[in-house]
Amino acid sequence: MKKEKNLKITPYLYLVPSILIFAVFLFYPFVKTVYLSLFMTNKMGQAKIFVGLQNYIDLLSSESFRNSLKVTLAFVVIVVLGGMLLGLIAAVLCNKAFPGIRVFSTAYALPMAIASSSAAMIFQIMLHPAVGIVNKLLGLDINWLNDPNTALYCVAILTAWLNSGINFLYFSAGLGNIDETIYERASVDGASGVQQFFSLTLSGLSPIMFYTVVVNIIQAFQSFGQIKILTEGGPNESTNVIVYSIYRDAFFNYRFGSASAQSVILFVIIMLVTLVMFRIEKKGVNY
């Protein structure tokens, strides 16, 4: 009897290290963030005055924070659509065997191996108004990163390209799992390449596409490095996404209570978006 009891307990003992790691690096920081969001803090980040939901009320009535919400939404939409489109096109192009396929596959997957800070510094030189290659090729004289009308698009396009590498691998794996015989039968029935793509390829990719959408949305909401290097939230807060707003409030303005409240709001937004995506998954994904 004692031996059976030990056998039941043993599997749970293997979970203890993981639970401890999650408790230290995930659960405790989350609880502490929620706690600090209810207080005014000093410059050391220590809770001093309990204000309840006042930090949240101040944020939701702040024009700067509402602008951050709009900027973040636009940024996420561009990054997710752009990154997935680039990854899908590259995966479809590399789905057929031809000379040099490995070289092209490596090139398309390369962005996932590049640090966002390194890519941002290269991108910054490319977009320089005087010596940048973009203005030289297009024959323009635009200060891309200092113009409120173009700065957000520039940062979003860079982020979409950085995400396209892992998306390429996801979609390549998904295409490899689609049975080639369905395309042969469709060809016999007279289906064109475009019809096969929309009716067969996208349908076969729906499970991996759902996963990729969720992952890309979460990654887009958490983008920070390239924004810090390229624009620092400017000009005129045109790239001041919520993550950068949290960083600025915490480490420049020393308003840790407000920064914590923004972190909680960001968590709620990501959670709600993820839940909505899982509800949609039941209707639009074919397994």
Where residue 83 falls among pLDDT bands split at 50, 70, 90? very high
Query: What's the pLDDT score for residue 285?
Result: 64
Backbone angles phi, psi at 152, to 5 degrees: -65, -40
pLDDT at 259 over 90: yes
Q: What is the pTM of this model?
A: 0.90
Where residue 231 falls among pLDDT bands split at 50, 70, 90? very high
Nearest CA to 234 among 172, 145, 158, 167?
145
Task: Find all residues with CB under 8 Å of 83, minimum gap 6, and list them.
Answer: 159, 160, 161, 162, 163, 164, 167, 216, 220
- How open is the CA angle 72-77-79, to the nearest 5 degrees? 90
What percent of the chain shows pLDDT beyond 90? Answer: 51
3-class secondary structure, 41: strand
Query: What's the pLDDT score for residue 245?
Result: 94
Give the range among 151-160, 251-260, 278-287 with minimum mean pLDDT: 278-287
| DSSP tag of 145 | G
Nearest CA to 148 among 79, 201, 71?
71
pLDDT at 180 over 90: no
Query: What's the pLDDT score for residue 282?
Result: 67
Query: What's the pLDDT score for residue 44?
Result: 85
CA atoms within 13 A on the CB side of 51: 18
